[in-house]
Amino acid sequence: MPSLILTSDDFGLSKIFNQRMIELLQSNFLSSISIMINQVTSDQQNQIAEIKKCMLKIISV
C-alpha cells in the first residue's frame, strides 16, 4: 500500500503558523516539519520542544 509523506516548511515564520504546524503534527496529519533556524526566537523554543516530543512518538510507534 502506498504511503504519503507530508512536510510543512518554514517553522519559525510566525508564532501562529508554528502553533498550527505543531497541531497538525500532533494529529498525525503531518509527517515532518522543516525549521528556519535563523527565524526561531527564544519564545519559540518551547514550540520546538513540542515538535521533538511529537517526533519521538512517531519514531517509537
Q: Identify whether 53 is part of a domain.
A: yes
Q: DSSP letter string over 17-43?
A: HHHHHHHHHHTTS-SEEEE-GGG--GG
Total structural domains in the chain?
Answer: 1
Q: What is the mean pLDDT of each run of 10 residues along the chain (61 residues)?
A: 81 84 87 75 78 67 45
The pLDDT, as a whole number, for residue 39 is: 63
Model's pTM, two decimal places? 0.64
Q: Identify whether 1 is part of a domain.
A: no
The pLDDT, as a whole number, for residue 40 is: 65
For 28, residues 6+ apart whose C-beta sits below 8 A from its C-beta are 58
* Domain that includes residue 48, residue range: 7-60
User: What is the torsion angle, in degrees rounded to the nearest 10, for the CA atoms of residue 14, residue 36, residue 39 and residue 45?
Assistant: 80
The pLDDT, as a whole number, for residue 59 is: 53
Q: Identify whether 11 is part of a domain.
A: yes
